[in-house]
Amino acid sequence: MKQLSPMDSHFYYFETPDQPMMIGSLWLCDQSTAPGGMVRHKEILQYIEDRLNRTSYFRRRLEQAPFGLDDPYWLDDPNFDLEYHVRHVGLPQPGDWRQLCIFTARTMSRSVDMRRAPWEVYIIEGLNNVEGVPPGSFAVLIRFHHAYVDGKASLELSEALMETTANHEYGRQDQVVVAERAPSRLEMWARTTPRMLGQSLRSMKAGVTFSRKSIELFKRLRTDAMPEQKRVPRSIFNTDVSPHRSYGALEWSIKDLKSLRALCPGASLNDVIIAIIGGGMRRYLMQRNQLPDLSLVSMCPVSVRPDEAKKDGGNLVSAMYIGVGTDIDDPVERLRAVNRRTAKGIPLAREVLNELSFAAGEMIPPYMRSMTAWMQNKARLGSKVPVTNMLITNVPGIPGMTPQYFAGALIRKVTPMVPIADGMAITHGITGIYDKLAVGVLADRGVMPDMDIYIQCLQDATDEYLQRARLLERASRMMEETAVIGEPAATLPASVRKAASGKRGNGRAKVKVVDVASTDIKEPLSAGADASPAAAKTE
């Protein structure tokens, strides 16, 4: 039997009706590729039944230790009922993106029955007016409890429900999984008692690790890892969350995102995404007159999951805390600031904070963890002192360009969703498929009732970066052509020379450094047609 780790149990104990700890993924499926051009619900049930045998994890439920003296265990559910976990619903007409986001938001506002395997799949029919898929398509909303999986594990388990052919061989199972026998109460006591007796030793050992890593963290912060900003500002997102949600998503071309790295040599794709979100958040908060003087800080999970732990579920993740640059007007300066911060934050998260957080969990006995979580939830302590303002995940998408199918239907788009919590009323999940990446935004509906406006702010920030990247590319080309014909670079406009060199002024830039109107570039500057928005409205 596999037992919940201290990190897994954190998501289990800290769940409340107002903050369900659910991770989700939304797939848009084109059923015209299926044999006969249509997929029936009974075929979907058989397809999922066939695919579930790729891993036994889908059939597991929680078994409590006697009197809650130890963390729960995962056991195979002897009464597993697939039809309970797979639901069939239809969108109201006109069956557009807004209606789909409303349904997604409402579904993600609820938890699952933890007496059963903690996952659900919704087959959503009636997508007749959604960009990117033909009329008559359907969506698949799959969601897991966060105690069950972290972001990367949820993606890997979701891949178990995909295949690379539209012609599924129904009734064929990849392997037969034999269910574990559920232990008796006496056997559970036999497992729990030695762990209770050994808890003091584990706590002492974890305390030594915690002290050692705390000293290492202090030394690292004193030398090269001290954050530029030492305080998290209070924002509209540092509040108690309600049970109501809003949801939206935006899709990017990976080619476009990669082109933006030229604005800051050494920047990663993740840096670019964080900088875009920082720009979109700056726009949104300025419209609401709620922009703090200091930059908003995002918690960014960093996976420490080894390859051999694939499809094992659970949570193997650390985190870094990064200022997203909402205090910086110039987009290039914002990207450079994010790049500097992640260069320090990622090694710190993997080498120090990972063991530090695990040791902190091991120091506290399981029954104390549940009691501590109950008291914290009762007092709503998460929103009292700002620790972070938001969350931005860093989950890779489905690898490769090979078409992926669900019961014969081609999966055309994938967008994620990550749970919010007290003190963190907005989250950004990042994943993708084929040559696209998508950000899925889940927020408290009372805090962000105008999700479509925020999605447009993200699109505007993307367009601004694309415009800068194209200007830089053309300016660099003009500099090269000038050098070839022997003309001095000084004959070019100053703005072109500055764009080509990448130099910027010091301090916080409030004036546009590159004046597009003053250059000699004749071609119109595109705002980035490849980045197609999927603007969403709330319930």
Where b means 16+ CB within 10 Å and e means fewer, 484-494 reads eeeeeeeebee
Q: Kindly state whether residue 459 falls inside one of the protein's structural domains.
A: no
Running DSSP on this structure, what letter comes out for residue 353? I
Q: Which residue has the tokens 């120090």?
A: 352
> Which residues, in sequence order, are CB contacts of 186 under 8 Å at separation 6+?
none
Res 281: pLDDT: 98
Q: Which of 389, 410, 269, 375 minimizes the C-alpha distance to 326?
A: 389
Query: Which pLDDT score, from 0 to 100, does residue 189 have?
Result: 81
d(CA 433, CA 444): 27
- Please name which of 268, 341, 349 lies closest in space to residue 302, comparing C-alpha atoms: 349
Count of structural domains within the chain: 1
Domain extent, residue 90, equals 2-187
Residue pointed to by tokens 């609401």 = 288
Tokens of 322: 């990064």
Three-class secondary structure assignment of 271-319: HHHHHHHHHHHHHHHHHCCCCCCCCCEEEEEEECCCHHHCCCCECCEEE
Burial bucket for residue 269 (CB in 10 Å: 0-12, 13-18, 19+): middle
Phi, psi of 237 (to 5 degrees): -90, -10
Contact in structure between 175 and 52 (CB atoms under 8 Å): no
Beta partners for 442?
A: 247, 427
Q: Find, among 447, 159, 430, the residue nearest to 273 by Cα.
A: 430
Within a domain: 501 = no
d(CA 221, CA 215): 10
pLDDT in tens, 360-394: 777 788 878 888 888 888 888 888 888 899 999 97
- Helix, strand, or coil (residue 125): strand
Q: Could you read off the pLDDT of 3-47 as tens digits, one per residue? A: 888 788 888 888 999 999 999 999 999 999 999 999 999 999 999
Q: Which residue has the tokens 């603007």?
A: 535
- Sign for the pseudo-dihedral over CA of 257, 286, 233, 441: negative
Q: What is the pLDDT of residue 449?
A: 96
Q: Is residue 102 part of a domain?
A: yes
The whole-number pLDDT of residue 194 equals 79
Report, in angstroms and rounded to the nearest whole number, the Rg of the chain calculated over CA atoms. Answer: 25
Cα dihedral 185, 191, 194, 199 sign: negative
Question: For residue 53, what is the domain's CATH number?
Answer: 3.30.559.10
The total number of residues shown for the chain amounts to 539
Distance spanning both ends of the chain, measured CA to CA:
41
The residue among 80, 57, 79, 77 whose CA lies nearest residue 8 is 57
Cα separation of 30 and 409, whole Å?
5
Angstrom CA distances, 50 to 18, 55, 169, stand at 35, 11, 9
pLDDT at 522: 34
| Torsion angle of C-alpha atoms 73, 75, 79, 82, degrees rounded to 10 | 100
Answer yes or no: are the C-beta atoms of 42 and 89 closer than 8 Å. no
Residue 440's nearest CA partner among 302, 277, 241 is 277
Q: How far is CA 227 from CA 102, 224, 354, 466, in A?
A: 38, 9, 18, 28
Cis peptide before 488 (omega within 30 of 0): no
In a domain, 57, yes or no: yes
Q: Is residue 56 part of a domain?
A: yes
Nearest to 442 by CA among 23, 16, 7, 15: 23
**Is 259 among the domain residues?**
no
Which stretches within 349-450 are classed as H helix?
Answer: 354-363, 366-379
CA atoms within 13 A of residue 119's CA, in its CB half-sphere:
27
Low-confidence ranges of the chain (pLDDT < 70): 151, 173-181, 217-229, 303-317, 348-356, 358, 395, 483-539
What is the reported pLDDT for 467? 94
The helix (H) or strand (E) run that includes residue 347 is: helix 331-348
pLDDT digits (tens, 9 = 90+) for 236-263: 999 999 999 999 999 999 999 999 999 9
Residue 301 resides in a domain: no
For 205-256, the three-class secondary structure string (H helix, E strand, C coil) is HHHHHHHHHHHHHHHHHHHCCCCCCCCCCCCCCCCCCCCCEEEEEEEEEHHH
Helix (H) or strand (E) holding 22: strand 22-30
- Whether 114 maps to a domain, the answer reads yes
Note the Cα 124 to chain centre separation in Å.
22
Measured in whole angstroms, how far is the alpha carbon of residue 247 from the centre of its chain? 13
Burial of 17 (0-12, 13-18, 19+ CB in 10 A): exposed
